[in-house]
Every structure is written in structure tokens, then in C-alpha cells.
């Protein structure tokens, strides 16, 4: 019977989507999220060691994406890790109208609800994290029927899918991670929006279409600052930009950067230490 290594990781701040994304570059078998920690599983024969995980996390420290972390290592005999992963996924009622559920969970739909069926395939956010909830609430509040949407760093595709189900005409959802690309396509198909949600592999500069009426980006502060001009270039006149992935301590830097590009802050919301900001193009 094969043995598995389990690495229990806590980071400050807790940014599971970002940490998961870089850890998938290692030859691991799976990741589960159980706030405030991540559990990373690796087949022992693949020789992913604690020092390899530390190298990845130290790189995040150097980039100032996290300011601290801890790792516990355990070794277990083989078990059904897919089953363990599925146990951690639940139905999430984001609002009275928006519900996220994995395909293998039952849910009795209430009148007027929009059900987003999302299977993150053990890698990226399930909707439980505050930043995803903040984004969805802001989309629900501010979306105008018939708009074209760009979702930057789409992950599972949940935001683009939600935007279309909330009335957007169409959406382009882009991510530079192949796992996200495949997962986004699966989730778009599962929600019957493949004709309206185009999943792309690449970066925002690879999107030739401009003048989006709504741009979404749930990414960390450093990337949002790096790609701010690219985001501005893709935002149409009077278009809206919804950002999250931000700690409340990021507010001043993000406001300064995006205001300098001619964008006006029109709304903000906070959930625990996380924030979402809504800007409008002047």
C-alpha cells in the first residue's frame, strides 16, 4: 500500500487560492481547504518533501504575498483522497439569490435562486472564501443586463458564470494556469453557459477585445497593481471594475493606483479582513 505525505499549512494572511495555485506546480496529489489551513497531499514515491513546500512558501514571502507560515508534516497509509476532498465541499448560500454547490451535493432550489454548480477539482476556491463572496455580492448589486464581462484570473470560472446567469450578455474568463483553463471549461459546461462564457488560457494582454462594460479581478494586491494599466485598457467608457483578493490594509495603495488611471471609487465592502472595491471609468 502506498503512503501519502500530508502537509498542513497555515499562512498569514490566509490566501488559499493563491497558495494552492503555486503549490500545484509541485507533483502533489491534492489539496483541501479547511479554513484557516490547507492540507496538501503527496504520494511518497513522488518525493515531494517538506523542504520543497517550504521553497514555494518562501518565494511567496519574498514577494510579500504572505508574511508568515507554518507547516506540519504527517505520513499516512493510502486512502481515498477524492472522498476526503469531497467531504470538505458544502453548499454555500452567498445571498438570498446566489447559491454555490458542488455537483455531488443535493440542494432544494428556492424560487428566484441562481444555482452555480462548481466543482473546483481540489485546486481552487469553492466560494467559501470571503473574497469570492464579496465579488459575487458586488456583481449581483452592480451588474447591468446585457453587458460584456472580462474575468481576469478566473480560477474555477465561478465569477464569469455568475455574471452570465445574472444577466450579462457574454463573458471572457482568462487564467494563465492550465488547470484553471480545464476546470473553467468543465464548470461552464456544467452550468450550460458554454455558449456565453469563453474560457481562455493566457494573460489579460492576450485578450484582443476591448471596451468591456464590466471587468472582474479577484487577485492579490501585487498582481492587481502590476496589471492595472492592462485592466484599464480593457475597460470601456463608463465601465465598472470590481476588485477583490485584497486585505483592508491594501486599500490605500489600490485606491491610489487605480485613481491615477482615471477610475473613480464608487463602492466598497468588507468581510472580516478582506475587501472588495468597485471603480467606474470616467
Taking the C-alpha atoms of residue 150 and residue 132, their distance in angstroms, rounded to an integer, is: 16
pLDDT in tens, 89-128: 789 999 999 999 999 899 999 999 999 999 876 445 556 7
Burial zone of 203 (CB within 10 Å; 0-12 exposed, 13-18 middle, 19+ buried): middle
Does 49 share its domain with 135? Answer: no
User: Among 63, 86, 109, which residue terminates a domain?
Assistant: 86
Same domain, 122 and 136: yes
pLDDT value, residue 230: 98
* First CA to last CA distance, the chain: 62
- Report pLDDT for 120: 75
The CATH number of the domain holding residue 251 is 3.40.50.150
Is residue 273 classed as helix, strand or coil in its secondary structure?
Answer: coil
A 10 A CB-CB count for 169 gives 13
When computed from its CA atoms, the radius of gyration of the chain, rounded to whole angstroms, is 19
Residues 57 and 96 grouped into a single domain: no
Q: Do 28 and 61 reside in the same domain of the chain?
A: yes
Same-domain check for residues 240 and 104: yes
Number of domains in the chain: 2
The CATH number for 13's domain is 3.30.70.260
Q: Please indicate, yes or no, whether residues 80 and 94 belong to a single structural domain of this protein.
A: no
More confident site: 39 or 21? 39
**Residue 79 is part of which domain span?**
3-86
Helix (H, G, I), strand (E, B) or coil at 234: helix
Beta bridge partners of 276: 269
Residues 24 and 104 in one domain: no
Domain boundary among 86, 119, 152: 86
The answer on 55 and 106 residing in a single domain is: no
**Final residue before a domain boundary, out of 44, 65, 86:** 86
If asked whether residues 159 and 241 sit together in one domain, one would say yes
Cell of 261: 488611471
| pTM for the whole structure | 0.78
Q: Would you place residue 269 in the very low, low, confident or very high pLDDT band (cuts 50, 70, 90)?
A: very high
One domain, residues 58 and 127: no
Task: Quick: pLDDT tens for 159-183.
Answer: 999 999 999 999 999 998 777 888 8
Grid cell locating 42: 503527496
12 shares its domain with 132: no
Q: Is the pLDDT of residue 28 over 50?
A: yes
Per the prediction, the chain carries an average pLDDT of 89
| Domain co-membership, 80 together with 95 | no
Helix, strand, or coil (residue 243): strand
DSSP line for 44-102: GGGT--HHHHHHHHHHHHHTTS-SEEEEEEEEEE---HHHHHHHT---EE-SSSEEEE-
Amino acid at each position: 500500500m502506498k503512503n501519502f505525505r500530508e502537509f498542513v499549512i497555515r499562512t498569514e494572511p490566509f490566501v488559499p487560492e493563491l497558495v494552492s495555485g503555486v503549490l500545484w506546480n509541485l507533483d502533489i496529489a491534492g489539496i483541501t481547504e479547511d479554513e484557516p489551513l490547507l492540507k496538501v497531499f503527496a504520494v511518497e514515491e513522488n518525493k515531494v518533501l517538506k523542504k520543497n513546500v517550504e521553497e514555494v512558501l518562501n518565494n511567496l514571502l519574498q514577494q510579500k504575498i504572505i508574511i508568515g507560515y507554518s507547516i506540519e508534516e504527517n505520513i499516512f497509509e493510502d486512502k481515498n483522497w477524492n472522498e476526503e476532498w469531497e467531504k470538505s465541499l458544502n453548499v454555500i448560500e452567498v445571498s438570498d439569490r446566489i447559491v454555490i454547490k458542488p455537483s455531488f451535493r443535493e440542494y432544494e432550489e428556492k424560487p428566484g435562486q441562481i444555482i452555480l454548480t462548481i466543482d473546483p477539482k481540489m485546486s481552487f476556491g469553492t466560494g467559501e472564501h470571503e473574497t469570492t463572496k464579496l465579488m459575487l455580492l458586488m456583481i449581483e448589486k452592480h451588474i447591468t443586463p446585457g453587458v460584456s464581462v472580462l474575468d481576469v484570473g478566473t480560477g474555477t470560472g465561478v465569477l464569469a458564470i455568475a455574471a452570465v446567469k445574472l444577466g450579462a450578455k457574454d463573458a471572457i474568463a482568462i487564467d494563465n494556469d492550465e488547470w484553471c483553463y480545464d476546470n473553467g471549461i468543465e464548470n461552464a459546461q456544467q452550468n450550460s453557459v458554454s455558449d456565453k462564457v469563453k474560457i481562455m488560457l493566457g494573460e489579460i494582454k492576450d485578450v484582443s477585445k476591448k471596451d468591456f462594460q464590466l471587468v472582474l479581478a479577484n487577485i492579490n494586491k501585487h498582481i492587481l497593481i502590476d496589471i492595472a494599466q492592462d485592466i484599464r485598457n480593457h475597460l470601456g467608457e463608463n465601465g465598472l471594475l470590481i476588485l477583490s483578493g485584497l486585505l483592508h490594509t491594501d486599500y490605500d495603495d489600490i485606491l491610489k493606483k487605480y485613481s491615477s488611471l482615471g477610475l473613480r471609487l464608487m463602492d466598497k465592502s468588507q468581510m472580516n479582513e478582506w475587501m472588495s472595491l468597485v471603480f467606474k471609468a470616467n
